[in-house]
Structure 1
Amino acid sequence: MSGRFITLEGGEGVGKSTQLKALAQVLVSRGLDVVTTREPGGSTGAEAIRALLLTGEKDRWNARAEALLFAAARADHIEKTIRPALAVGKWVLCDRFLDSSRAYQSAGSGLADADILALHRFGSEGLLPDRTLVLRLPEAEAEARTAARDGNAPDRFGARAGDFHRKVAAAFVDYAADEPNRFRLIDALGSTDEVTGRLVSALSDMLP
Protein backbone atom coordinates (compact mmCIF):
# COMPACT_ATOMS: atom_id res chain seq x y z
CA MET A 1 0.00 0.00 0.00
CA SER A 2 1.37 3.39 -0.97
CA GLY A 3 1.81 6.00 1.72
CA ARG A 4 0.58 9.58 1.73
CA PHE A 5 2.64 12.71 1.16
CA ILE A 6 1.50 15.77 3.14
CA THR A 7 3.21 19.16 3.07
CA LEU A 8 2.87 22.13 5.42
CA GLU A 9 3.37 25.52 3.82
CA GLY A 10 3.10 29.19 4.69
CA GLY A 11 5.12 32.31 5.26
CA GLU A 12 7.53 33.06 8.08
CA GLY A 13 6.38 32.59 11.67
CA VAL A 14 3.13 30.70 11.02
CA GLY A 15 4.13 27.67 13.10
CA LYS A 16 4.89 25.00 10.50
CA SER A 17 7.62 23.26 12.48
CA THR A 18 5.54 23.14 15.67
CA GLN A 19 2.50 21.86 13.85
CA LEU A 20 4.46 19.27 11.90
CA LYS A 21 5.50 17.61 15.16
CA ALA A 22 2.02 17.87 16.66
CA LEU A 23 0.33 16.48 13.56
CA ALA A 24 2.81 13.61 13.42
CA GLN A 25 1.93 12.66 16.99
CA VAL A 26 -1.78 12.54 16.13
CA LEU A 27 -1.19 10.38 13.07
CA VAL A 28 1.04 7.99 14.99
CA SER A 29 -1.67 7.68 17.66
CA ARG A 30 -4.00 6.52 14.88
CA GLY A 31 -1.65 3.72 13.96
CA LEU A 32 0.11 5.31 10.99
CA ASP A 33 3.83 5.01 10.31
CA VAL A 34 5.00 8.60 9.93
CA VAL A 35 8.21 10.21 8.63
CA THR A 36 8.78 13.92 9.30
CA THR A 37 11.16 15.89 7.15
CA ARG A 38 11.86 19.41 5.91
CA GLU A 39 13.02 21.52 3.01
CA PRO A 40 15.54 22.54 2.19
CA GLY A 41 17.04 19.41 3.73
CA GLY A 42 15.77 15.98 4.62
CA SER A 43 18.71 14.01 3.21
CA THR A 44 22.47 14.25 3.63
CA GLY A 45 23.02 16.03 0.33
CA ALA A 46 20.02 18.32 0.77
CA GLU A 47 21.10 19.32 4.28
CA ALA A 48 24.48 20.38 2.89
CA ILE A 49 22.70 22.59 0.35
CA ARG A 50 20.43 23.95 3.13
CA ALA A 51 23.48 25.42 4.86
CA LEU A 52 24.46 27.20 1.65
CA LEU A 53 20.97 28.61 1.13
CA LEU A 54 20.12 29.85 4.61
CA THR A 55 23.41 31.35 5.77
CA GLY A 56 25.37 34.35 4.62
CA GLU A 57 24.35 37.76 3.37
CA LYS A 58 20.93 38.41 1.83
CA ASP A 59 22.53 38.83 -1.61
CA ARG A 60 24.74 35.74 -1.37
CA TRP A 61 22.77 34.12 -4.20
CA ASN A 62 20.59 35.66 -6.87
CA ALA A 63 17.10 34.29 -7.48
CA ARG A 64 18.16 31.95 -10.29
CA ALA A 65 20.98 30.44 -8.28
CA GLU A 66 18.60 29.96 -5.34
CA ALA A 67 16.06 28.22 -7.56
CA LEU A 68 18.71 25.83 -8.90
CA LEU A 69 20.00 25.04 -5.41
CA PHE A 70 16.50 24.38 -4.07
CA ALA A 71 15.74 22.14 -7.05
CA ALA A 72 18.95 20.17 -6.52
CA ALA A 73 18.26 19.74 -2.81
CA ARG A 74 14.69 18.61 -3.53
CA ALA A 75 15.79 16.05 -6.11
CA ASP A 76 18.10 14.41 -3.56
CA HIS A 77 15.52 14.65 -0.78
CA ILE A 78 12.87 12.91 -2.88
CA GLU A 79 15.20 10.16 -4.06
CA LYS A 80 16.76 9.41 -0.68
CA THR A 81 13.92 10.07 1.77
CA ILE A 82 10.45 10.74 0.38
CA ARG A 83 9.95 8.11 -2.33
CA PRO A 84 11.44 5.23 -0.28
CA ALA A 85 9.13 6.05 2.64
CA LEU A 86 6.03 6.30 0.45
CA ALA A 87 6.88 3.04 -1.29
CA VAL A 88 6.62 1.09 1.98
CA GLY A 89 3.34 2.72 3.01
CA LYS A 90 4.58 5.45 5.34
CA TRP A 91 3.01 8.88 5.66
CA VAL A 92 5.54 11.62 4.91
CA LEU A 93 5.00 15.02 6.54
CA CYS A 94 7.24 17.71 5.08
CA ASP A 95 7.88 21.24 6.35
CA ARG A 96 7.92 23.14 3.00
CA PHE A 97 8.18 21.70 -0.50
CA LEU A 98 7.75 22.85 -4.11
CA ASP A 99 5.15 25.50 -3.32
CA SER A 100 7.63 27.36 -1.14
CA SER A 101 10.02 27.53 -4.08
CA ARG A 102 7.21 28.89 -6.19
CA ALA A 103 6.21 31.46 -3.57
CA TYR A 104 9.71 32.60 -2.61
CA GLN A 105 11.61 32.41 -5.91
CA SER A 106 8.73 33.25 -8.25
CA ALA A 107 6.17 35.44 -6.46
CA GLY A 108 8.72 36.93 -4.05
CA SER A 109 11.81 37.19 -6.24
CA GLY A 110 10.31 37.58 -9.70
CA LEU A 111 11.18 34.38 -11.55
CA ALA A 112 8.60 32.80 -13.82
CA ASP A 113 6.47 30.20 -12.07
CA ALA A 114 6.71 28.05 -15.20
CA ASP A 115 10.50 27.92 -14.81
CA ILE A 116 10.24 26.73 -11.19
CA LEU A 117 7.80 24.02 -12.29
CA ALA A 118 10.09 23.03 -15.18
CA LEU A 119 12.99 22.55 -12.76
CA HIS A 120 10.72 20.41 -10.61
CA ARG A 121 9.67 18.24 -13.55
CA PHE A 122 13.30 17.65 -14.46
CA GLY A 123 14.87 17.26 -11.01
CA SER A 124 12.04 15.58 -9.12
CA GLU A 125 9.96 13.99 -11.89
CA GLY A 126 7.06 16.29 -11.00
CA LEU A 127 6.21 14.68 -7.65
CA LEU A 128 3.38 16.55 -5.90
CA PRO A 129 1.93 16.12 -2.40
CA ASP A 130 -1.38 14.37 -1.84
CA ARG A 131 -2.43 17.31 0.34
CA THR A 132 -0.86 20.71 1.02
CA LEU A 133 -1.85 22.50 4.22
CA VAL A 134 -1.15 26.24 4.15
CA LEU A 135 -0.95 27.87 7.58
CA ARG A 136 -2.03 31.52 7.60
CA LEU A 137 -1.69 34.37 10.09
CA PRO A 138 -2.37 38.11 10.01
CA GLU A 139 0.77 39.94 8.97
CA ALA A 140 1.39 41.60 12.35
CA GLU A 141 1.07 38.29 14.22
CA ALA A 142 3.42 36.53 11.80
CA GLU A 143 5.98 39.30 12.19
CA ALA A 144 5.79 39.15 15.98
CA ARG A 145 6.23 35.39 16.04
CA THR A 146 9.14 35.58 13.60
CA ALA A 147 10.87 38.20 15.74
CA ALA A 148 10.35 36.10 18.87
CA ARG A 149 11.76 33.05 17.09
CA ASP A 150 14.76 34.62 15.35
CA GLY A 151 15.65 37.57 17.59
CA ASN A 152 18.46 39.48 15.90
CA ALA A 153 19.60 36.50 13.82
CA PRO A 154 17.10 35.77 11.03
CA ASP A 155 18.19 33.57 8.13
CA ARG A 156 18.59 34.95 4.61
CA PHE A 157 14.87 34.69 3.89
CA GLY A 158 13.52 35.85 7.22
CA ALA A 159 15.65 38.99 6.91
CA ARG A 160 13.93 40.16 3.73
CA ALA A 161 11.61 43.17 3.65
CA GLY A 162 7.92 43.12 4.49
CA ASP A 163 6.85 43.55 0.88
CA PHE A 164 8.64 40.32 -0.05
CA HIS A 165 6.81 38.40 2.69
CA ARG A 166 3.45 39.88 1.69
CA LYS A 167 3.98 38.60 -1.87
CA VAL A 168 4.90 35.16 -0.52
CA ALA A 169 1.79 34.95 1.68
CA ALA A 170 -0.47 36.06 -1.17
CA ALA A 171 1.07 33.50 -3.52
CA PHE A 172 0.06 30.59 -1.30
CA VAL A 173 -3.54 31.80 -1.36
CA ASP A 174 -3.42 32.01 -5.16
CA TYR A 175 -2.04 28.47 -5.46
CA ALA A 176 -4.83 27.18 -3.22
CA ALA A 177 -7.42 28.85 -5.44
CA ASP A 178 -5.87 27.25 -8.53
CA GLU A 179 -5.66 23.73 -7.02
CA PRO A 180 -8.52 23.34 -4.53
CA ASN A 181 -8.30 19.54 -4.55
CA ARG A 182 -4.73 19.58 -3.22
CA PHE A 183 -4.63 22.67 -1.00
CA ARG A 184 -6.35 23.55 2.26
CA LEU A 185 -5.96 26.97 3.90
CA ILE A 186 -5.61 26.68 7.68
CA ASP A 187 -6.17 29.44 10.24
CA ALA A 188 -3.02 29.37 12.43
CA LEU A 189 -4.41 31.63 15.19
CA GLY A 190 -5.16 29.98 18.50
CA SER A 191 -3.52 27.37 20.69
CA THR A 192 -1.29 24.65 19.29
CA ASP A 193 -4.01 22.06 19.93
CA GLU A 194 -6.65 24.15 18.18
CA VAL A 195 -4.52 24.54 15.07
CA THR A 196 -3.56 20.86 15.08
CA GLY A 197 -7.26 20.01 15.21
CA ARG A 198 -7.83 22.08 12.06
CA LEU A 199 -5.02 20.24 10.30
CA VAL A 200 -6.45 16.86 11.24
CA SER A 201 -9.88 17.95 10.01
CA ALA A 202 -8.31 18.97 6.70
CA LEU A 203 -7.01 15.39 6.33
CA SER A 204 -10.20 13.68 7.47
CA ASP A 205 -10.99 12.27 4.04
CA MET A 206 -7.62 10.46 3.98
CA LEU A 207 -7.41 9.18 7.54
CA PRO A 208 -8.26 5.66 8.66
Structure 2
Amino acid sequence: MTALQHQPRFLSLEGGEGAGKSTVLTALRDALQADGVEVVCTREPGGTPLAEGIRGLLLHANDEPVAAHTELLMMFAARAQHVQQVILPALQRGAWVMCDRFTDSSYAYQGAARGMDVHFIAELERHAVGIEPGLTLLLDLDVAHARQRTRGRDLLDGASPDRIEREHDAFFERVRAGFLARAMQHPERIRVLDASPDAATVAAAALVVLAEYRRGGA
Protein backbone atom coordinates (compact mmCIF):
# COMPACT_ATOMS: atom_id res chain seq x y z
CA MET A 1 0.00 0.00 0.00
CA THR A 2 1.41 3.37 -1.04
CA ALA A 3 1.82 5.78 1.88
CA LEU A 4 0.92 9.42 1.55
CA GLN A 5 3.86 11.80 1.43
CA HIS A 6 3.77 14.05 4.49
CA GLN A 7 4.50 17.68 3.49
CA PRO A 8 5.55 19.79 6.52
CA ARG A 9 5.22 23.14 4.71
CA PHE A 10 1.72 22.34 3.47
CA LEU A 11 -1.10 23.66 5.69
CA SER A 12 -4.81 23.10 5.12
CA LEU A 13 -7.84 24.74 6.69
CA GLU A 14 -11.02 22.75 7.11
CA GLY A 15 -14.49 23.28 8.51
CA GLY A 16 -18.10 23.66 7.53
CA GLU A 17 -19.66 26.58 5.73
CA GLY A 18 -19.26 29.89 7.59
CA ALA A 19 -16.45 28.71 9.88
CA GLY A 20 -14.19 31.63 8.94
CA LYS A 21 -11.43 29.82 7.06
CA SER A 22 -10.63 32.79 4.80
CA THR A 23 -9.96 35.11 7.75
CA VAL A 24 -7.67 32.59 9.44
CA LEU A 25 -5.83 31.84 6.21
CA THR A 26 -5.10 35.55 5.74
CA ALA A 27 -3.73 35.85 9.29
CA LEU A 28 -1.46 32.83 8.87
CA ARG A 29 -0.24 34.03 5.48
CA ASP A 30 0.64 37.44 6.89
CA ALA A 31 2.55 35.89 9.80
CA LEU A 32 4.64 33.71 7.51
CA GLN A 33 5.30 36.50 5.03
CA ALA A 34 6.43 38.75 7.89
CA ASP A 35 9.24 36.24 8.41
CA GLY A 36 10.24 36.50 4.76
CA VAL A 37 8.66 33.20 3.77
CA GLU A 38 7.12 32.67 0.33
CA VAL A 39 3.50 31.63 0.80
CA VAL A 40 1.15 30.27 -1.85
CA CYS A 41 -2.52 30.54 -0.89
CA THR A 42 -5.01 28.46 -2.79
CA ARG A 43 -8.37 26.73 -2.47
CA GLU A 44 -10.37 23.63 -3.27
CA PRO A 45 -12.08 22.75 -5.39
CA GLY A 46 -10.06 25.00 -7.66
CA GLY A 47 -6.57 26.45 -7.72
CA THR A 48 -5.88 26.08 -11.45
CA PRO A 49 -7.95 27.18 -14.48
CA LEU A 50 -9.05 23.60 -15.15
CA ALA A 51 -9.82 22.90 -11.50
CA GLU A 52 -11.73 26.19 -11.21
CA GLY A 53 -13.82 25.07 -14.19
CA ILE A 54 -14.63 21.85 -12.35
CA ARG A 55 -15.50 23.93 -9.28
CA GLY A 56 -18.06 25.83 -11.31
CA LEU A 57 -19.66 22.59 -12.48
CA LEU A 58 -19.71 21.20 -8.93
CA LEU A 59 -21.18 24.22 -7.17
CA HIS A 60 -23.55 25.58 -9.81
CA ALA A 61 -27.17 24.75 -8.97
CA ASN A 62 -29.03 23.36 -11.97
CA ASP A 63 -31.88 21.02 -12.81
CA GLU A 64 -29.73 17.90 -13.19
CA PRO A 65 -29.02 16.10 -9.91
CA VAL A 66 -25.34 15.35 -9.34
CA ALA A 67 -24.75 11.72 -8.37
CA ALA A 68 -22.61 11.19 -5.28
CA HIS A 69 -19.98 9.25 -7.26
CA THR A 70 -19.87 12.02 -9.85
CA GLU A 71 -19.33 14.65 -7.17
CA LEU A 72 -16.57 12.65 -5.52
CA LEU A 73 -14.70 11.90 -8.75
CA MET A 74 -14.95 15.51 -9.92
CA MET A 75 -13.55 16.67 -6.58
CA PHE A 76 -10.58 14.35 -6.97
CA ALA A 77 -10.06 15.27 -10.61
CA ALA A 78 -9.79 18.92 -9.58
CA ARG A 79 -7.53 17.99 -6.65
CA ALA A 80 -5.18 15.88 -8.77
CA GLN A 81 -4.72 18.78 -11.19
CA HIS A 82 -4.26 21.20 -8.31
CA VAL A 83 -1.57 19.08 -6.66
CA GLN A 84 0.41 18.58 -9.86
CA GLN A 85 0.18 22.12 -11.20
CA VAL A 86 0.28 24.29 -8.05
CA ILE A 87 0.90 22.57 -4.74
CA LEU A 88 3.85 20.28 -5.49
CA PRO A 89 5.76 22.83 -7.62
CA ALA A 90 5.46 25.40 -4.83
CA LEU A 91 6.62 22.95 -2.17
CA GLN A 92 9.51 21.80 -4.33
CA ARG A 93 10.86 25.34 -4.63
CA GLY A 94 10.68 25.81 -0.85
CA ALA A 95 7.46 27.78 -0.48
CA TRP A 96 4.77 27.19 2.11
CA VAL A 97 1.35 26.30 0.72
CA MET A 98 -1.89 27.13 2.52
CA CYS A 99 -5.07 25.63 1.14
CA ASP A 100 -8.69 26.41 1.96
CA ARG A 101 -9.92 22.77 2.08
CA PHE A 102 -8.12 19.61 0.99
CA THR A 103 -8.79 15.87 1.09
CA ASP A 104 -10.28 15.89 4.60
CA SER A 105 -13.25 17.70 3.05
CA SER A 106 -13.93 14.71 0.81
CA TYR A 107 -14.02 12.41 3.83
CA ALA A 108 -16.47 14.80 5.54
CA TYR A 109 -18.71 15.88 2.65
CA GLN A 110 -18.70 12.89 0.31
CA GLY A 111 -17.85 10.27 2.94
CA ALA A 112 -19.71 11.15 6.14
CA ALA A 113 -22.46 13.29 4.61
CA ARG A 114 -23.08 11.54 1.27
CA GLY A 115 -22.37 8.03 2.55
CA MET A 116 -19.56 7.22 0.12
CA ASP A 117 -17.20 4.36 0.98
CA VAL A 118 -14.25 5.82 2.90
CA HIS A 119 -12.00 3.01 1.64
CA PHE A 120 -12.72 4.13 -1.92
CA ILE A 121 -11.94 7.73 -0.92
CA ALA A 122 -8.66 6.55 0.62
CA GLU A 123 -7.74 4.75 -2.62
CA LEU A 124 -8.41 7.92 -4.62
CA GLU A 125 -6.34 9.88 -2.11
CA ARG A 126 -3.37 7.54 -2.45
CA HIS A 127 -3.43 7.21 -6.23
CA ALA A 128 -4.68 10.64 -7.41
CA VAL A 129 -3.29 12.92 -4.67
CA GLY A 130 -0.40 11.19 -2.93
CA ILE A 131 0.31 13.89 -0.34
CA GLU A 132 -1.08 15.12 2.95
CA PRO A 133 -0.63 18.41 4.83
CA GLY A 134 1.81 18.66 7.69
CA LEU A 135 -0.78 20.60 9.68
CA THR A 136 -4.53 20.93 9.32
CA LEU A 137 -6.58 23.43 11.29
CA LEU A 138 -10.19 22.34 11.70
CA LEU A 139 -12.43 25.30 12.51
CA ASP A 140 -15.33 23.73 14.36
CA LEU A 141 -18.69 25.52 14.47
CA ASP A 142 -22.19 24.27 15.23
CA VAL A 143 -24.57 24.21 12.28
CA ALA A 144 -27.07 26.77 13.61
CA HIS A 145 -24.30 29.34 14.17
CA ALA A 146 -22.82 28.57 10.77
CA ARG A 147 -26.20 29.11 9.09
CA GLN A 148 -26.48 32.56 10.68
CA ARG A 149 -23.06 33.52 9.39
CA THR A 150 -23.62 32.32 5.83
CA ARG A 151 -26.99 34.07 5.64
CA GLY A 152 -25.37 37.31 6.77
CA ARG A 153 -22.53 36.90 4.29
CA ASP A 154 -24.91 36.22 1.39
CA LEU A 155 -26.99 39.29 2.25
CA LEU A 156 -23.87 41.48 2.31
CA ASP A 157 -22.43 40.38 -1.02
CA GLY A 158 -25.68 39.64 -2.81
CA ALA A 159 -24.67 36.04 -3.52
CA SER A 160 -27.02 33.09 -3.73
CA PRO A 161 -26.14 29.87 -1.90
CA ASP A 162 -24.34 27.37 -4.13
CA ARG A 163 -25.51 23.80 -4.69
CA ILE A 164 -23.80 22.42 -1.59
CA GLU A 165 -24.69 25.38 0.64
CA ARG A 166 -28.35 24.63 -0.14
CA GLU A 167 -28.18 21.26 1.59
CA HIS A 168 -30.35 20.70 4.69
CA ASP A 169 -29.11 20.97 8.26
CA ALA A 170 -28.87 17.19 8.75
CA PHE A 171 -26.35 17.07 5.91
CA PHE A 172 -24.14 19.65 7.62
CA GLU A 173 -24.47 17.87 10.96
CA ARG A 174 -22.99 14.80 9.25
CA VAL A 175 -20.25 16.96 7.71
CA ARG A 176 -19.33 18.32 11.13
CA ALA A 177 -19.32 14.83 12.65
CA GLY A 178 -17.15 13.62 9.78
CA PHE A 179 -14.58 16.34 10.35
CA LEU A 180 -14.44 15.67 14.10
CA ALA A 181 -14.04 11.95 13.43
CA ARG A 182 -11.10 12.71 11.13
CA ALA A 183 -9.54 14.84 13.85
CA MET A 184 -9.80 11.95 16.32
CA GLN A 185 -8.23 9.60 13.78
CA HIS A 186 -5.35 11.99 12.99
CA PRO A 187 -4.59 13.95 16.18
CA GLU A 188 -0.94 14.38 15.20
CA ARG A 189 -1.96 16.40 12.12
CA ILE A 190 -5.39 17.91 12.74
CA ARG A 191 -5.86 20.59 15.39
CA VAL A 192 -9.45 21.52 16.27
CA LEU A 193 -10.16 25.19 16.97
CA ASP A 194 -13.43 26.55 18.35
CA ALA A 195 -14.70 28.82 15.55
CA SER A 196 -17.61 30.30 17.53
CA PRO A 197 -15.79 33.41 18.90
CA ASP A 198 -15.19 36.52 16.80
CA ALA A 199 -12.85 36.27 13.81
CA ALA A 200 -9.94 38.01 15.52
CA THR A 201 -10.04 35.61 18.47
CA VAL A 202 -10.09 32.55 16.20
CA ALA A 203 -7.25 33.95 14.08
CA ALA A 204 -5.17 34.58 17.20
CA ALA A 205 -5.68 30.99 18.34
CA ALA A 206 -4.63 29.75 14.89
CA LEU A 207 -1.47 31.86 15.04
CA VAL A 208 -0.55 30.23 18.36
CA VAL A 209 -0.92 26.78 16.79
CA LEU A 210 1.20 27.81 13.80
CA ALA A 211 3.95 29.17 16.06
CA GLU A 212 4.00 25.94 18.08
CA TYR A 213 4.11 23.90 14.88
CA ARG A 214 7.05 25.87 13.50
CA ARG A 215 8.93 25.58 16.79
CA GLY A 216 8.54 21.85 16.41
CA GLY A 217 10.76 21.93 13.35
CA ALA A 218 8.44 22.59 10.42
TM range (shorter): over 0.9
Q: Is the 8 A contact 1:13 1:145 kept in 2?
A: yes
Q: Is the 8 A contact 1:3 1:86 kept in 2?
A: no
Distance change in 2, residues 1:76/1:147 (3 Å): same
Matched, 1:136 2:140: yes
Q: Is the 8 A contact 2:47 2:82 kept in 1?
A: yes
What secondary structure is seen at the aligned counterpart in 1 of 2:211?
Answer: coil
Q: In the comparison of the two structures, how many residue pairs are matched?
A: 206
Give the whole-Å Cα distance in 2 for the aligned partners of 1:37 and 1:55: 20
Which residue does the alignment assign to 1:56? Answer: 61
What secondary structure is seen at the aligned counterpart in 2 of 1:35?
Answer: strand
Give the whole-Å Cα distance in 1 for the aligned partners of 2:41 and 2:25: 7
Which residue does the alignment assign to 1:123? Answer: 128
Runs (4 or more) in structure 1 with deviation over 4 Å come to none
Q: State the AA in 1 paired with 2:27.
A: A
Q: Using the TM superposition, give the Cα deviation of residue 123 of structure 1 relative to its aligned residue in structure 2, in angstroms.
A: 1.2
Give the whole-Å Cα distance in 2 for the aligned partners of 1:29 and 1:148: 32
Report the more deviating stretch, 80-89 or 146-155: 146-155
Q: Using the TM superposition, give the Cα deviation of residue 165 of structure 1 relative to its aligned residue in structure 2, in angstroms.
A: 0.1
Q: Which of 87, 91, 94 lines up with 2:92 in the alignment? A: 87
When the two chains are superposed, the root-mean-square deviation of aligned CA atoms in Å is 1.6
TM-score, normalising length: structure 2 = 0.89
Structure 1: runs of 5 or more not aligned: none
Q: Using the TM superposition, give the Cα deviation of residue 58 of structure 1 relative to its aligned residue in structure 2, in angstroms.
A: 7.7
Which residue does the alignment assign to 1:103? Answer: 108
Give the whole-Å Cα distance in 2 for the aligned partners of 1:59 and 1:132: 34
Matched, 1:191 2:195: no
Give the whole-Å Cα distance in 1 for the aligned partners of 2:137 and 2:192: 6
Report the more deviating stretch, 143-152 or 183-192: 143-152
Give the whole-Å Cα distance in 2 for the aligned partners of 1:11 and 1:59: 24
Q: State the AA in 2 paired with 1:92.
A: V
What secondary structure is seen at the aligned counterpart in 1 of 2:16?
Answer: coil
Matched, 1:206 2:213: yes
Give the whole-Å Cα distance in 2 for the aligned partners of 1:58 and 1:113: 28
